[in-house]
Amino acid sequence: MEDRRTELQEGVAALRADFVAKPEALENVREGIEARVRSGWSEESGFLNGMVLVSDQEARLTTLITFWKAGALAQDRENKVRWLRKILNPYLDRCLSVQTNCTYFLAASQGQANVLPAPSA
């Protein structure tokens, strides 16, 4: 258990939301979420980057994954979850889950230092 706490404080953590997008929001979900993340979190301490995943099987099934310095996410998780819900609100038909995950970048084991690109301004 102590190793897990150390990982959560020192590494990179992901805050993830899986949701069903509103049918009328499908055309704008990726760009809209990106704009809202940039305006809400681009200056936030500990924010590293994020990604939107849209299912190739069902276009309404969407995932937002944001990457954080683990210590920053651990210290202020509840506030970041509230912000995440605000960011998703215009696009959200139904929230399936919101969770925090430890991350393990596969390329890191091959000695690649930049496995998580920084957000562009």
Give a yes or no: residue 14 inside a domain.
Answer: yes
pLDDT of residue 10: 66
Domain assignment present for residue 108? The answer is no
Count the Cβ atoms, other than its own, within 10 Å of residue 121: 5
Which residue stretches of the chain are H helix? 2-10, 29-41, 70-75, 77-88
What confidence tens digit (pLDDT) does each residue in 13-37 have? 999 999 999 999 988 898 999 999 8
Q: Decide the pairing of beta strands 92-102 and 47-54.
A: unpaired
Question: Would residue 44 count as lying in a domain?
Answer: yes
Q: How many domains is the chain built from?
A: 1
Q: Determine what percent of the chain is predicted with pLDDT higher than 70.
A: 79
CATH number of the domain bearing residue 74: 3.30.70.100
Exposure b/e, 42-57, CB count within 10 A at least 16 = b: eebebbbbbebeeeee
| β partners of residue 18 | 63, 97
What is the per-residue pLDDT for 1?
45
Instruction: Give the predicted TM-score (pTM) of the model.
Output: 0.78
Q: Taking all residues of the chain, what is their mean pLDDT, rounded to a whole number?
A: 83
Whether 62 is covered by a domain: the verdict is yes
Cα→Cα distances 93→20, 22, 54, Å: 5, 5, 14
For residue 109, being part of any structural domain is answered with no
Task: Judge whether 35 lies within some domain.
Answer: yes
Domain enclosing residue 59, as ranges: 2-103
Domain for residue 39, yes or no? yes
Task: Assess whether pLDDT exceeds 80 at residue 118.
Answer: no
What is the DSSP-derived secondary structure letter of residue 42?
Answer: T
CB atoms within 10 A of CB 29: 22
Going by pLDDT thresholds of 50, 70 and 90, the confidence category of residue 65 is very high
At residue 7, the pLDDT reads 44
Tokens of 114: 């930049």
On whether residue 58 sits in a domain, the answer given is yes
